[in-house]
Structure 1
Amino acid sequence: MRSAPPAETFPAHTPAAAQIFTTVLSHGPLTRLDAARRAGLSAAAVTKAVRPLLEAGYLVETPDQEARPALGRPASLVRVDGGRALFIGVKVTAGELIGVLTDLRCRIRIARHVPVPDRATEAVLTSLAELARELLAEAEELGAPVLGLGVAISGDVDRAEGVVRYSPFLDWRDVHLAELAALTTGLPVTVDNDVRALTVAEQWFGAGAGLSDFAVVTVGAGIGCGIVVHGRVISGAHGVAGEIGHVTVDPAGPPCHCGNRGCVEAIAGDAAIIRRIRETTGLEVADSAAAAALAHQGDEGAREAYARAGEAIGRGIATVANLLGPERVIISGEGLAAYDLFAEQIREAFTAAAFGSAAQCDVQTRPLPFEEWARGAAATAIQSFITPHDQRQSR
């Protein structure tokens, strides 16, 4: 592995430069005038921000072949040179690491899966080092430098400090993962909550592109939520903004691992659904796939567990809509494999609990494989590279 992080830095550490770069990244190619309009900056500010980025090769400018100006010089288009740099993104699960090597435009070039023998920090770091080694070798073939590593992990993650405060599925507490991973891989490391990382990717390239206010809700082993308000991914003062999974929807409901009762996750997480089916049917349901199969076969207990989960998720989404008024809520996560079993209950509970015009929120589903979550981790690494720490979008 490398003994020290790369010395290369983004050539223009100003808010305007980062804003223009991300605008072109998400919506480009753009003329300078269009970039200025989208970013809300003056033409002079755009010219000043673009110049060092063009000189360093992060942006390139080409003639707009479709433009036919009556007078003056033809318009030029500015775009990000994806081959200028590479980034690694890793999604951590309890059983494996999913890693991707992306270019500067966050396009996945290579994807790899590495098993994790156990959930101990040392074992995960060993697997992470192996995965990074593989992807760095692939990067040499592509001929561009790897300038950062993003790690996405579930739970309470302090991105500013690079610390996993608590990850229930890994049983980690106060793990300084960014520091440890940097020592292990030799790369600059960004660590963030996995749903927030996915939200960054959705904001830049997915169903949230162009929206000022939206949310991503993920269903599966846990229930997560990433929030964008006025174009900024919100983490809050303590890094736990958007914890929809720990919104209480039934005070008399089942206990949650967080210490409360009746949280959305305690009713609608995979383990909660399986536990409910076991309680009501007496059957030993092995996993979520078996639970969904039982429900699809028409077992009343299994169908009741999914209906109950859908109601909890719908109430949780309504809470987000009532508080923040997003234009769109995107539902994703591995739990979408059984979405037909609780989609109706989600819609009904959301409609019943959403206040006034909040019910007009566009709720849509978007199945995303874990490679896309890893891509989100790479997006956070790109974000850290191009954005000054005190101006970062996710703070």
Structure 2
Amino acid sequence: MPLPQAVLREATDRRLLEEVVTRGRVTRAELAAATGLSKPTVSEAVRRLTESGLLEATGAQETGRRGRVGTFYELGPSAGWVLAVEVGKSGVRAWSADLAGAVLREHERPAGVRGDVEAVAAALRSVASDAVDQAGEGVLRAVAVSMANPVDPETHDVIAVPASPFPEGLLSPAEILVGTVTAPVLVDNDVNLAALAEQRAGGATGVSSFAYVYVGAGLGVGLYIGDRLVRGAHGLAGEIGYLPGAGRGTLATELAAGIGGAGARSNDVATALRMLDDGDTETIGRAVARAITSITAVVDPELVLLGGPVGCHPALLEPVRAALPPSPTRLEYGRLGTLASLHGATYSALEHARTAAVRVMSD
């Protein structure tokens, strides 16, 4: 049964929009050549995209043939923008980006005292309000929020887990931003978003099965198996901190105690970084290696990437490699560093924004 014309138009428009985003500035003839679509189909789609404001004609290109001139098209001023936000123990940081993903402005607010939920909410509102004010008349098409806590994949609610290193992050970004933004608010776990970013434009590009191991105030893993992000039925896949440690506690509590002393509830990032600076790598290296050993035994990924403020430390990779049993799985650093989750939030927002913009145009 053939697909409805509206569905075909939407798919065509989205494909051409993505091509313009990738190439920056392009003619209809170049779009036809790149996509394999007929010239009449491309011309009609470009007309729709231009009339909607997603594209604009920006100049002529001499084709080299007498009487023939091509018109360049690029993203239009009405295409809009997205907001990517990261909410964590260090505070709230964000950036706004155009629909091509180019960062326009950066925003940041410091963290409040531990456990102060309202301070986190106020920082989130403030960052979003600043971004909207500075954008002027541009259309905000999506907001993606990275949370340093698990997120239910169905309800998008932040999930409370025992001994969370970020208890003040148990809030609802969508509810907090009511009245501040009108765009859809997308919420996801920071480690999942970091894995998404590494898969799109980082160390896992072209790798279908990999694990992104985050080491910071907590431990977590983002899993891509067969080119699909594994979230679990309740959004709790990858909570490796709850694996058994070498003693009676969990891997997370054992590592926290090794870094901050007995009774530490989460990893003291500053102390962990000082330990690694001083060459004291055994405690952290062995804990991370135990986590990776469990991951590789269960899912056998092609690649494991280390990330997070502690996981990215240049002294950590080799001690972890040395502590791992022989395995065909490669171990490397993530390429996007401590900004990986913010990059991931940007990709999430862009994907939603581009799809929604074309769908609205097709309605």
TM-score with structure 1 length normalisation? 0.68
1:374 aligned to which of 339, 342, 360: 342
Matches within 5 A, 1:1-395: 18=14, 21=17, 25=21, 31-32=30-31, 36=35, 47=42, 52-59=48-55, 84-118=79-113, 119-140=115-136, 143-166=137-160, 168-171=164-167, 175-241=171-237, 243=238, 245-246=240-241, 248=243, 250=244, 252-255=246-249, 261-262=250-251, 265-267=252-254, 271-275=256-260, 278=261, 287-294=268-275, 296-297=277-278, 302-316=280-294, 318-319=296-297, 322=300, 325-326=301-302, 328-336=303-311, 338-340=313-315, 342-350=316-324, 352=326, 354=327, 358-359=328-329, 361=330, 363-370=332-339, 372-387=340-355
The CA distance in 2 between the partners of 1:207 and 1:303, in whole Å, is 23
SS in 2 for 1:157: coil
Aligned counterpart, 1:393: none
Question: In the comparison of the two structures, how many residue pairs are matched?
Answer: 340
Structure 1: 5+ residue stretches without partners: 1-10, 256-260, 280-285, 389-395
The one-character-per-residue Cα deviations of 1:194-220 (angstroms, maximum 9, x if unpaired) are 122233333433344455444433222
Compared with structure 1, are the counterparts of its residues 53 and 222 closer, same or farther at alpha carbon in structure 2 (3 Å cutoff)? farther
- Closer, same or farther: CA 304–346 of 1 in aligned 2, 3 Å: closer
| Inter-partner Cα distance in structure 2 for 1:176 and 1:195 | 18
Tell me the SS of whatever aligns to 1:306. Answer: helix
**SS across alignment from 1:169:** coil
CA contact (8 A) 2:54 2:79 kept: yes
Check the 8 A contact 1:333/1:367 in 2, yes or no.
no
- Shift in alpha-carbon separation, 1:294–1:212, aligned structure 2, 3 A: closer
In structure 2, C-alpha distance between the alignment counterparts of 1:179 and 1:149, rounded to whole Å? 13
Following TM superposition, by how much is the alpha carbon of 1:114 offset from its aligned partner in structure 2, in angstroms? Answer: 0.7
Q: Mean alpha-carbon deviation: is it higher for 11-20 or for 197-206?
A: 11-20
Structure 1 residues 208 and 291, CA gap change in structure 2 (3 angstroms) = closer
Check the 8 A contact 2:202/2:334 in 1, yes or no.
Answer: no
Q: CA deviation at 1:233?
A: 3.5
Unaligned stretches of 5+ residues in structure 2: 1-6, 357-363
Within 2, Cα distance between the matches of 1:103 and 1:308? 42
Tell me the distance in 1 between the aligned counterparts of 2:236 and 2:33.
Answer: 35
Q: Do the aligned residues in 2 keep the contact of 1:315 with 1:349 (CA within 8 Å)?
A: no
The whole-number CA distance in structure 2 between the counterparts of 1:74 and 1:232 is 44
> % of aligned pairs identical?
25
Give 1:157 shift: 0.4
1:175–1:107 Cα change, 3 Å: same
Partners of 2:234 and 2:16 in 1: how far apart?
28
- What is the CA distance between 1:239 and its match in structure 2? 2.5
Per-residue deviation, residues 21-80 of structure 1 (Å, max 9, x unmatched): 55764677785467548xxxx779x85877644543435688998999x9xx99998865
Taking the aligned partners of 1:233 and 1:51, their CA distance within structure 2 comes to 36
CA contact (8 A) 1:12 1:53 kept: no
Matched to 1:304, the amino acid is E
1:97 Cα offset (Å): 0.4
Q: Please, which moves more after superposition, 173-182 or 154-163?
A: 173-182
Residue 110 (structure 1) shift:
1.2
Q: TM-score, length-normalised on structure 2?
A: 0.73
Structure 2 vs 1, CA of residues 295 and 89 (structure 1 numbering), >3 Å: closer, same or farther? Answer: closer
Q: Is the 8 A contact 2:87 2:169 kept in 1?
A: no
C-alpha contact (below 8 Å) 2:312/2:334 kept by paired residues: no
